[in-house]
Chains A and B, each alone.
Chain A
């Protein structure tokens, strides 16, 4: 729970204003907004990388104001946009072991956990390879693996779909689903409106350090007024339905999702062919 959180940078920039949020186990949440809206600042407050200048944050009903980053990182894992910012070890295996260091596991336990994670992420074949020689997608996978091996309750991804191909996004979604089944809260910062529209159930929109909308994604991202404030554009399905409406297709403006539009067009084609047959 985030209560009345405000954050001002040392240079005087007010980055977060009156943030109030409730996050629940197993939720999949998207945070969207234009650059400088306060998205990254908000997630940094969640694992103590920055401390709110006002307000409180509770994780599992415990105020985290005096909890160290090292302790918080066991509960909140952030996977940053640039994987190369965290990879440094000699081998992929060592990279995972470094993440497990703060758990004080013995050698055997650490090896078992490392093997499990390498298997889960299909990185076993790269075990002895230098993380610096991995491809972009594999580096990203390793960066995610090195956080997930710590088994945090909340997983935060900063722009996870950026530079990823369709297959990689698909495998990322499978991973998210698995983590959600285990009761993890997933938070994603993204500019990818199509991705959010299709897969993320709850969306938080931010502008100028404030939360301007929080609710079901399809409802939030279909509101033109809100979208304008965040430099986003309407999802393609919505743009298409509005274009249909402007061309005289009755009630097309009431359609939001891809499924709605598809259903509407199928019905339209069916009616047209029936009319043609009657003639």
Chain B
């Protein structure tokens, strides 16, 4: 099993409309899509929301990475499908899968197109204390490192006969320990090292600090934000007036 899908959340410098947007606009995009996805538990509206993401992915030139992030959800998809079909219905299971696809896609777009340095700057401009903004951007920057480490751990365990695919849910959960424990320990060790390195460079010694780079909310960011507001408003209206919507909006599978 490859953990390469985690690379689907790694920032890649490209020249596209999405890459050139302000990080705050893209954070707003992730929030808008997440809220929209949470509004519904019917297949059709969720499918429309999901469809509306595809042009954004294409404009952002991140189609391949986005497909990888969706493929990486296969285990979770099986889990959701199994449990929801068993306890509720197949339609509900499909709706929940679409919901998770939308949320992951929205954040995948965000992570793939936001430079960690700009992320910290945008959070600071939103009046968040520098320490928090820096921690957040640092965590964000470590996603690919942790992905690589997880792959190394898996390789090391497989080299001594570890097999991921075991029969039964309990065995599969038990089977995660050889991967999770080293990953957690290594992450904690790294966190301590980073903290020491930061302290040795006098991190946080001055309360007021200046910034070499600054970011500005431009006209295209405002246009995109207005589009997102309209998008969210439309779906809120659909939710409130759901009974007045065409019948196919509440379509579900016969089983």
A86 touches B182 (CB 8 A): yes
Chain B residue at minimal CB-CB distance from A99: B160
Centre residue among B162, B178, B189 by max chain A CB count within 10 A: B162
**For the complex, is B155 an interface residue (Cβ under 8 Å from A)?**
yes
**Contact partners of B153 in chain A: CB under 8 A:** 85-86
Q: What number of A residues sit within 8 Å (CB to CB) of B?
A: 28
Centre residue among B4, B155, B185 by max chain A CB count within 10 A: B155
Interface of B is mostly: helix
B186 touches A84 (CB 8 A): yes
**Contact partners of B161 in chain A: CB under 8 A:** 70, 73-74, 99, 101-103, 150
Q: Please tell me which stretch of A53-61, A75-83, A108-116, A185-193 contacts chain B, meaning at least 4 of its Cβ atoms lie within 8 angstroms of it.
A: A75-83
Identify which of residues 133-170 in chain B touch chain A, using a CB-to-CB cut-off of 8 Å: 149, 152-153, 155-163
**For the complex, is A34 an interface residue (Cβ under 8 Å from B)?**
no
A82 touches B163 (CB 8 A): no
Chain B residue at minimal CB-CB distance from A80: B156
Identify which of residues 173-188 in chain B touch chain A, using a CB-to-CB cut-off of 8 Å: 177-178, 181-182, 185-186
**For the complex, is A169 an interface residue (Cβ under 8 Å from B)?**
no
**Contact partners of B163 in chain A: CB under 8 A:** 70, 102
**Contact partners of B158 in chain A: CB under 8 A:** 47, 49, 69-70, 73
Chain B: minimal CB distance from A179 (Å): 16
Chain A: minimal CB distance from B91 (Å): 35
**For the complex, is A118 an interface residue (Cβ under 8 Å from B)?**
no
Chain B: minimal CB distance from A143 (Å): 8
In angstroms, Cα B2 to Cα A10, docked, is 11
In angstroms, Cα B248 to Cα A259, docked, is 87
In angstroms, Cα B157 to Cα A42, docked, is 18
Chain A: minimal CB distance from B73 (Å): 18
Chain A: minimal CB distance from B62 (Å): 14
Contact of A86 among B4, B149, B157, B177 (CB under 8 A): B157
Chain B residue at minimal CB-CB distance from A88: B181
- Beta-carbon contacts of A99-129 to B below 8 Å, as 1s and 0s? 1011100000000000000000000000000
- Additional A-B contact list (12), CB under 8 Å, known A86-B182, A102-B163: A10-B4, A70-B161, A73-B160, A74-B161, A77-B159, A80-B155, A80-B156, A82-B152, A84-B182, A84-B186, A85-B182, A88-B181
